[in-house]
Structure 1
Amino acid sequence: MDEIRKLLDEIIDKNSLIYGVLSKVKVKDEQNFSKVTIKPVLIKNSINIQFTYHYKNKVMHKNIDLNESSNEVVKLIDTYFRQAVLFTTEADYQILISKKGKVKILKKKPTKSLVDLSHNRKKNYLIEEGKPCPFLVRLGVMNEKGKIYSKKYDKFRQINRFLEIVSDVISKVEIGESFNIVDFGCGKSYLTFALYYYLVDILGLDVNIVGLDLKKDVIDFCNKVAEDLNYDKLKFIHGDIKGFDGFEKVDMVVTLHACDTATDDALSKAVMWNAKIILSVPCCQHELFSKIKNPIMIPMLKHGIIKERLSSLVTDSIRSNVLEIMGYSTQMIEFIDMEHTPKNIMIRAIKKDNCNKKAIKEYIEFKEFWNLENLYIESVFGNKLTDLLNINDNVD
């Protein structure tokens, strides 16, 4: 089956599939499907492969992510069928399986045309499909003609969603002669490169961006890409969040999927710098799972999966509340669709005032409700937060 999988991966990667039919069942069974057809479909601006299972008196549909579709086809051929015909933009392929399991693949000239699924997914994107973008080409998201690789389309959407958020917040703050940005836990840095491209190449701003990560090989790779792209004011440094002191003044802090309390370290640094903008997508919040307690909430807390999700929401609510105490205007927004990852909440914070006394009262009452003490976020913010929480002024 390896040669079938190789062919399927190539077809999916090139986004060339038009239609496919799996037929000639190995064992006839009226209770089972007699054939399966496949075709690409557009769902919420993302391409999936739709599998249609044909039974005697009904059909059933299942939409499968591009990355998993090859596995499903191979499984179906291996288990149920002796033949498959795949119509692509480049060729028609007939796959034949003998009774002994021998595979034969016949290639013929293409006989079908691809239906355009992209007409309604290009609008409003800050980086358009069909126009080559240097960093996306270099990172393997699109080819040199601007065509997005199928397996990278979710990443392409995520990048554009991120830039939409950046476009909105950047218009709400004053941009000086230079604008310093730090991206904590940058990883392979798709979004860091996107940020530089948007702010420098599109908006023409004078920015300095530093990406920070603990993986040395990732940092070396990103610095090489930045050098290849001539992104002179984009640097990547190997190190952790707590120890970074590369800038005296930081205007914007980005922290995407920093694990557990590393998010709190990043938020503390951002507030210490009086950063104008904070964009944070927390990940893997474990601290409060064993801490949140309230007898009234037992119907939720007694179920581990619900308690885990609830503790994550409580954690992010506390983080947002702390930022409000520190004088930030905060919003919780959806970063990417829930169908792609449950870790999709972004805390978006913009510096406004010195202290929000109403937020202090809300914070204290919220902690009392959940019986929370000795929170990590309070330890990393230190006296700067403690002194504000000890304010005895009456607040409405």
Structure 2
Amino acid sequence: MELHDSIAKIVLENPIRIVFSNKKNKDSEYEKIKINLTNLKNKEIYQVEKFTDKQVFHKNIEKEDLEETMISLMENFKQMSAISNEYNFDIRISKKGKVFFSKHEQKNKVNISSSHNKKKNYILQEGMIIPPLIDLGVFTKEGKVVNSKYDKFKQINRFVEIIDHEVKNIEKDYSKESENVLHILDFGCGKSYLTFIIYYYFTEIKEMNVKITGLDLKRDVIQNCNEVAEKYNYENLKFELGDINGFKYENNVDMVITLHACDTATDYALFNAINWNAKMIFSVPCCQHEINSTIKPNSLDIITKYGIIQERVSALFTDAIRANLLEAMGYKTQLLEFIDIEHSPKNILIRAVKSNISNEKKKRAIDEVEKIRAEFNFEQTLYSLLKERL
């Protein structure tokens, strides 16, 4: 699973070149395998090159097949390196099967891709006339990114990219030609810049049937957001006043989104998503005080010796526990880097997709949570909410 998660992180960054080397078995047919992003008949595809001692075999694959192909090829090699327009990646597998993964931002970003790909292929491209981005001050009226808002532009695109990675598996089921509707709930939507962008992405770019509800505690914010949605003629985008804790939603919920829901608000959002049996969850936590205020190590006092270390470790513990609890509830869960840590320390995104998780994996996920709680004696809200079901 660790290998799958590492490969998923690489695929999300639209790699340009990938090289598999150091084969596990000397008798393996291929000495090395390369994958290159290329353009065929105005369509981006990946070309796979397999090298034997004397020959090279070529095969083209669709972009959506890249992750599965990489996982399959990695079964025969101990090392893989990849490069995108912004990052270098390395995966190394030890003799004992341990996976070592690294990701480094290129200090001097040089576009090394083929001529068709001179910049990062954002889903929301500069030059598009996207009303919410103009009103939010991210784009000018001409569709240019405002210099001071470029980090915000990257953040929005990153969230959309991570959603897009999963939505490709279901988009046909919710196309405008079908009668199916994808129900999405955005907890703690605030001023709702992301909510509006997600609605635009689903309706204008993916051309899917969606109904999105934004939830927040501020009455004036909800009123303003509903007025803006009406201005854009976003008929299936509504905003409601309500608390994440105990919110009742009558319709089926297919996707739950949270962006910087503070402290235990993220736990209540995840708990509701689990109760609704949501197909997909995308959550970027914000400040996380609960474990930090209750942690009491039995023996590892070094964790609490320095305040800044205790704070950061507590935040990491919180998200690791959330991920394990989601897995115990039947979700394939990944913790992904949301944005570069230089822009914000709150850079972890929880992506959970309802899957067929084995009872063995569920039990192991629970056991790991119990062990860390036994050592550090802290409280954690999602664990408390789910305790009777674990």
* TM-score after normalising by structure 1: 0.64
Aligned to 1:280: 283
Partner amino acid, structure 2, of 1:179: L
Q: Distance in 2 between matches of 1:221 and 1:310?
A: 38
1:379 to 365, 379, 384: 384
Q: Which residue of 1 aligns with 2:167?
A: 170
- Aligned equivalents of 1:361, 1:123: Cα separation in 2: 39
Indicate the residue corresponding to 1:126 in structure 2. 123
* Alignment partner, residue 208 of structure 2: 205
Residue of 306, 321, 342 corresponding to 2:345 = 342
1:83-141 per-residue CA deviation (whole Å, 9 max, x = no partner) reads xxxxxxxxxxxxxxxxxxxxxxxxxxxxxxxxxxxx99853111111232222122222
Residues 216 and 243 in structure 2, CA contact (< 8 A), matched pair in contact too: yes
RMSD between superposed Cα atoms in Å: 2.4
For the residue of structure 2 that corresponds to 1:158, the secondary structure is helix
Letter paired with 1:221 = N
Shift of 1:355: 6.3
Q: CA deviation at 1:292?
A: 2.9
**Aligned in 2, Cα 1:224/1:156: closer, same or farther, shift over 3 Å?**
same
SS in 1 for 2:159: helix
1:136 aligned to which of 133, 136, 141: 133
Please tell me the residue identity of whatever aligns with 2:162.
I
**After superposition, what is the alpha-carbon deviation per residue over 1:305-340, rounded to whole angstroms, capped at 9, x for unaligned?**
000000111111110000000000000001111111
Report deviation, 1:218: 1.6
Residue 273 of structure 2 is aligned to residue 270 of structure 1:
yes
Cα 1:121–1:304 shift into 2, 3 Å: farther
Separation in structure 2 between the aligned mates of residue 372 and residue 253 of structure 1, nearest angstrom: 30
Deviation at 1:173, TM superposition (A): 4.3
- 1:306 maps to 309
* Matched pairs, number: 270
Q: Give the Cα separation in 1 of the matches to 2:158 and 2:312.
A: 24
Whole-Å separation in 2 of the counterparts to 1:228 and 1:329: 38
Partner of 2:248: 245
CA gap of 1:337–1:180, structure 2 versus 1, over 3 A, is same
Give the structure-2-normalised TM-score: 0.65
Structure 2: tracts of 5 or more residues without a match: 1-84, 88-115, 175-179
Whether contact under 8 Å (1:326, 1:355) holds in the other structure is no
Secondary structure in structure 1 of the residue aligned to 2:227: helix
Whole-Å separation in 2 of the counterparts to 1:362 and 1:131: 44
- What is the alpha-carbon distance in structure 2 between the residues aligned to residue 354 and residue 131 of structure 1? 40
Larger Rg: 1
SS of residue matched to 1:297: coil
Q: Give the Cα–Cα distance (whole angstroms) in 1 for the partners of residues 340 and 359 of structure 2.
A: 32
Is residue 159 of structure 1 aligned with residue 161 of structure 2?
no
- Cα distance change of structure 1 residues 140 and 373 upon mapping to structure 2, 3 Å threshold: closer
Residues 138 and 225 in structure 1, CA contact (< 8 A), matched pair in contact too: no
Contact 2:328 2:365 in 1 (8 A): no
Structure 1 gap ranges (5+): 1-42, 46-118, 390-396
Q: Give the letter aligned to residue 259 of structure 1.
A: C
Q: C-alpha distance in 1, partners of 2:381/2:344?
A: 26
Give the aligned residue type for 1:282. Answer: P
